[in-house]
């Protein structure tokens, strides 16, 4: 077992490859309007390559609703209870 992934810094330090290997789904939450959505992992790899740090994605993500850039990166555990499903926090807005 590796280090627990709990904080935003932990999330940011992961590469896309590692996040996917650990079974996480990657979601972006817009910093402006709070729209969020789970991303297609293969599409992210195709666009950025597997070794990009998740920290880099947050400045490049563009909101499909308000069109602004800058998002939070959230990870969703596929198998945990609802309460602990999201790292570092649940999405605040509606998907």
Residue ranges that bind Zn ion, judged by CB under 5 A: 30, 32-33, 35, 63, 65-66
Q: Tell me the two tokens of residue 41.
A: 């992992």
For the bound state, the minimum distance from the C-beta of residue 14 to Zn ion, rounded and expressed in Å, comes to 23
Please say which residue, 33 or 85, places its beta carbon nearer to Zn ion: 33
Q: Closest approach of Cβ 45 to Zn ion, in Å?
A: 24
Sheet holding 36-38, edge to edge: 36-38, 25-30, 71-76, 86-87
How many angstroms from the chain centroid is the CA of residue 50? 14
Looking at the DSSP assignment, which residues form a beta bridge with residue 75? 26, 87
Task: Please state the closest distance from residue 4 (CB atom) to Zn ion, in A.
Answer: 30
Which residue's entry shows tokens 């649940």?
A: 90
Q: Which is nearer to Zn ion, 32 or 89 (CB)?
A: 32
- Of 32 and 46, nearer to Zn ion (C-beta) is 32
């Amino acid at each position: 077992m590796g280090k627990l992934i709990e904080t935003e810094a932990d999330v940011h330090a992961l590469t896309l490859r590692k996040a996917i290997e650990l079974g996480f789904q990657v979601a972006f939450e817009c910093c402006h309007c709070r729209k969020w959505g789970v991303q297609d992992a293969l599409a992210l790899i195709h666009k950025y390559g597997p070794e990009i740090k998740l920290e880099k994605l947050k400045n490049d993500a563009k909101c499909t609703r308000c069109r602004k850039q800058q998002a939070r990166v959230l990870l969703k555990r596929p198998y945990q209870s609802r309460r602990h499903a999201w790292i570092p926090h649940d999405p605040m807005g509606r998907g």
